[in-house]
């Protein structure tokens, strides 16, 4: 299972490296979202700084949608999906591999977005341990959940419009938890941030387990 | 009786259920609006207690039924289209009840909390539940091959229903504006007739739920039959239209098409006679 996961993750990342969709399209999109939030909330630094954790994680959610769509679009072309089904790889391994590739892309995008909120919104990043723990737990949850619903919608003609409708309500807890934890880390709230990291961890574990169990069935029918 | 089989989705069970639902609902309205007294604090607003908790509970029940039916569909040993249809019908009715829950809750919230909406755990989770099942209904309508669609929907139905217990325990797990389990907490406080009216409202909305789901399930059954036999039925209908005007023997019609259509149309018609 683990060997298959590494194979699939390597394949997906190699495709992203060579096609440069993540770097040339998704990353600029993420920055544009941050800039648009800036326009929407006026260049009033205080509002942007208070809202920065929430805006950051909303931007991450949008990037997750794009990354998931991209991850399953590459399987849709040239019968690659059939190849994947016939390859004899463990479906759980395929799930973990695809989720890991999405997670790594997301971590890259989160690093970029973090730079974005520092430079564009003037946020001072504090509480590094909490920030990193939150980002790690939230990313695992987003990637696992995105992969489960990505394969659910893969192969449908309406997948581009259906995927946001399915994923966004489901990942709402991640948005809430990650925003609260970051607010605690950045000092905009006095809440205990680690409590929210636990919630994010539970969400991640639940979706990784679900994906490992259900991915085979869903892949067969995709 | 035999005629109505083909004309609607009702039968004796649904008719009895429908009448019972009407009678009990009328009783709830009468008891709720006329007989029961207004509350000391909430005044006449308290009458929403005969709608809101029952509607919310039925939304939970509906999503629970969807989860159960989806699981039964996913198990190879119990896999049957019946479960797929029940899951879909129940989710659809559940979304209606869930939307009603949010609407009645808002109407209640405005005078008591002074806001239509507040970001409280119970409210947020209920809205989330509604959104999730709207997504589920969208997933059901994606078309394509029937079996993959059914499996996808069943998996989604099970996944989404996980929110139901979280929503239910939200008032205990988090500090919320929304009051906790109404029946438990109000039991000693509530007036006798109020309690009975409230219990009756659960029965009434339960009957409405069952009535709607039965009709909706049959409608799905008819829809899938229309998909499978639509052409044969249409041919039979055209033939029946033409028959009284020109009683020509079958072999005089267009060659090839008609004799084939006769056989399938007749078999479809006899199938259609079965309840």
Distances (CA, A) of B14 to B1, B63, B95, B215, B273: 13, 21, 21, 8, 18
How many Cα neighbours within 13 Å face the side chain of B215?
15
Give chain B positions within 8 Å (CB) of A217.
Answer: 74, 151, 155
For chain B, report the end-to-end CA distance as a whole number of angstroms.
10
State the burial class of residue B97 (Cβ atoms within 10 Å of its Cβ: 0-12, 13-18, 19+): buried
Contact A157 B142 (CB under 8 A): yes
**Residue A158: Cβ within 10 Å count:** 15
- Inter-residue contact B204 to B53 (CB < 8 Å): no
Neighboring chain B residues of A170 at a CB cutoff of 8 Å? 132, 159-160
pLDDT tens, residue by residue, A50-91:
889 999 999 999 999 999 998 988 888 777 878 888 888 888
Cβ proximity of B122 and B176 under 8 Å: yes
Distance from CA of B176 to the nearest CA of A (A): 16
The secondary element (H helix, E strand) that includes residue A157 is: none
Q: Please list the ranges in chain B whose pLDDT falls under 70.
A: 1-7, 175-176, 180-191, 244-275
Chain A CB within 8 Å of residue B247 CB: no
Whether A196 shows a pLDDT value over 50: the answer reads: yes
pLDDT in tens, A8-55: 888 888 888 888 888 888 899 999 999 999 888 877 778 888 889 999
Residue B260 in tokens = 């084939």
CA distance A52 to A41: 11
On chain A, the residues whose CB falls within 8 A of the CB of B147 are 221
Q: Do B143 and A221 count as a contact with CB atoms less than 8 A apart?
A: no
Radius of gyration over every alpha carbon of chain A, rounded to an integer in angstroms: 17
Query: What CA–CA distance (Å, rounded) separates B184 from B202?
Result: 15
Of A158, A172, A218, the CB nearest to B128: A172
Structure tokens at B27: 């009783």
Length of chain A: 222
The helix/strand/coil state of B43 is strand
Chain B residue with Cα closest to A166: B135
User: What pLDDT shows up at residue B265?
Assistant: 41
Q: How many CB atoms lie within 10 A of CB B59?
A: 28
**Region for residue A192 given its phi and psi (left: phi exceeds 0; alpha: psi -120 to 50; beta: otherwise):** beta
A 10 A CB-CB count for B6 gives 11
**With an 8 Å Cβ cutoff, are A165 and B135 in contact?**
yes
**CA–CA gap between residue B72 and residue B66 (Å, rounded):** 10
How far A152 CA lies from chain B's nearest CA (Å)?
6
* Chain B residues with CB-CB distance to A157 below 8 A: 142-144
Which of B130, B141, B146, B159 should one mutate to test binding to chain A, selecting the residue with the greatest count of A CBs within 10 A?
B159
Q: Which of A114, A108, A111 is nearest to A13 (CA)?
A: A108
* Encoded tokens for A213: 């169990």
Which residues have a Cβ under 8 Å from the Cβ of A19 and sit 6 or more positions away? none
Nearest residue, CB atoms, A152 vs list B128, B134, B156: B156
Q: Is A172 exposed, middle or buried (0-12, 13-18, 19+ CB in 10 A)?
A: middle
pTM of the entire structure? 0.78
The answer, for B170 touching chain A at a CB cutoff of 8 Å, is: no
Q: Residue B1: its pLDDT value, please? A: 36
Concatenating the DSSP letter of every residue in A27-82 gives HHHHHHHHHHHHHHTTT-HHHHHHHHHHHHHHHHHHHHHHHHHHHHHHHHGGGHHH
The pLDDT, as a whole number, for residue A87 is 83
Fold classified for B11-228: 1.20.120
CB A59 within 8 A of CB A187: no
Q: Which residues in chain B have their CB less than 8 angstroms from residue A155's CB?
A: 144, 148
8 Å CB contact between A169 and B128: yes
Q: How far is B198 from chain A (nearest CA, A)?
A: 32
What's residue B186's pLDDT? 56
Separation of alpha carbons A183 and B240, rounded Å? 72
- Is a pLDDT exceeding 50 seen at residue A167? yes
Q: How close does chain A come to B109, measured CA to CA in Å?
A: 23
A121-142: pLDDT as tens digits: 888 888 888 999 999 999 999 9
Task: Write the CB contacts of A141 (distance below 8 Å, at least 6 apart in sequence).
Answer: A171, A174, A200, A203, A204, A207
C-alpha distances out from residue B111 to A216, B41, B75, B114, B182, Å: 51, 12, 48, 5, 19
Work out the number of other CB atoms within 10 angstroms of the CB of residue B39: 16
Q: Cβ(A199)–Cβ(A177) under 8 Å? A: yes
> What pLDDT score does B273 carry?
38
CA distance readout (Å), A87 to A4, A8, A84, A94, A164? 10, 11, 5, 10, 29
Supply the pLDDT for residue B269. 41
Nearest residue of A to residue B129 by CA position?
A: A169
* Contact predicate B214/B17, CB 8 Å: yes
Alpha-carbon distance A196 to nearest alpha carbon in chain B (angstroms)? 13
- Asked if B71 reaches chain A (Cβ–Cβ under 8 Å), the answer is no
Partner-chain contact B159 A156, CB within 8 Å: no
> Residues in chain A whose beta carbon is closer than 8 A to a beta carbon of chain B?
148, 152-153, 155-158, 162, 165-166, 169-170, 172, 210, 214, 217-218, 221-222
Residue of chain B minimizing CA distance to A163: B135
Nearest to A210 among B143, B151, B159 (CB): B159
The CA-atom distances, in angstroms, between B74 and each of A44, B86, B139 are 53, 13, 16
Q: Which of B126, B152, B153 to mutate to test the interface with A (most CBs of A within 10 A)?
A: B152
CB atoms within 10 A of CB A51: 18
Q: Do A158 and B142 touch (CB under 8 A)?
A: yes
B35 touches chain A (CB under 8 A): no
Which class for A93: exposed (0-12), middle (13-18), buried (19 or more C-beta within 10 A)? buried
* B contact residues 72-111, partner A, Cβ 8 Å cutoff: 74
Domains of chain B, by residue range, sit at 11-228, 230-272
pLDDT for the residue numbered A158: 79
Specify the 3-state DSSP secondary structure of A205.
helix
User: With a cut of 0.85, is the ipTM above it?
Assistant: no
Q: How many helices (H) and strands (E) does chain B have?
A: 10, 0
């Amino acid at each position: 299972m683990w060997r298959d996961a590494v194979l699939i993750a390597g394949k997906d990342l190699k495709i992203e490296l060579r096609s440069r969709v993540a770097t040339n399209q998704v990353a600029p999109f993420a920055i544009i979202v941050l800039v648009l939030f800036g326009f929407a909330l006026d260049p009033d630094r205080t509002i942007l700084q208070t809202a920065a954790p929430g805006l950051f994680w909303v931007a991450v959610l949008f990037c997750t949608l794009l990354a998931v769509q991209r991850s399953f679009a590459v399987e849709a072309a040239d019968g690659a999906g059939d190849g994947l089904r016939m390859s004899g790889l463990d479906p759980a391994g395929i799930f973990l591999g695809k989720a890991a590739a999405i997670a790594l892309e997301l971590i890259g995008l989160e690093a970029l977005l973090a730079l974005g909120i520092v430079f564009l919104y003037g946020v001072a990043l504090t509480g590094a341990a909490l920030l990193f723990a939150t980002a790690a737990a939230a990313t695992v949850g987003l990637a696992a959940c995105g992969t489960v619903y990505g394969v659910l919608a893969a192969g449908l003609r309406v997948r581009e419009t259906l995927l946001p409708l399915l994923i966004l309500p489901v990942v709402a807890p991640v948005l809430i938890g990650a925003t609260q934890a970051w607010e605690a880390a950045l000092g905009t709230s006095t809440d205990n941030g680690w409590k929210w990291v636990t919630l994010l961890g539970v969400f991640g574990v639940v979706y990784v387990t679900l994906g490992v169990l259900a991915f085979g069935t869903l892949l067969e029918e995709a | 009786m035999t005629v109505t089989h083909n004309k609607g989705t009702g039968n004796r069970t649904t008719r009895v259920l429908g009448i019972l639902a009407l009678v009990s609902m009328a009783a709830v309205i009468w008891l709720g609006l006329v007989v029961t007294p207004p509350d000391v604090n909430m005044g006449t607003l308290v009458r929403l207690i005969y709608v809101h908790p029952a509607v919310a509970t039925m939304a939970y029940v509906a999503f629970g039924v969807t989860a159960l039916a989806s699981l039964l569909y996913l198990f190879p040993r119990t896999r049957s289209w019946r479960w797929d249809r029940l899951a879909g019908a129940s989710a659809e009715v559940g979304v209606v009840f869930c939307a009603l829950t949010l609407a009645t809750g808002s109407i209640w919230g405005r005078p008591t909390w002074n806001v239509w909406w507040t970001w409280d755990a119970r409210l947020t989770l209920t809205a989330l539940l509604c959104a999730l099942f709207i997504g589920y209904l969208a997933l059901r309508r994606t078309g394509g091959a029937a079996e993959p669609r059914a499996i996808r929907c069943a998996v989604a139905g099970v996944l989404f229903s996980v929110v139901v217990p979280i929503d239910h325990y939200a008032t205990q797990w988090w500090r919320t504006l929304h009051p906790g389990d109404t029946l438990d907490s109000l039991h000693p406080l509530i007036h006798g007739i109020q309690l009975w009216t409230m219990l009756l409202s659960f029965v009434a909305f339960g009957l409405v739920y069952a009535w709607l789901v039965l009709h909706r399930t049959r409608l799905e059954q008819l829809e899938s039959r229309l998909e499978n036999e639509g052409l044969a039925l249409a041919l039979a209908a055209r033939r029946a239209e033409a028959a009284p005007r020109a009683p020509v023997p079958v072999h005089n019609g267009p060659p090839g098409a008609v004799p084939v259509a006769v056989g399938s149309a007749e078999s479809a018609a006899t199938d259609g006679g079965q309840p």
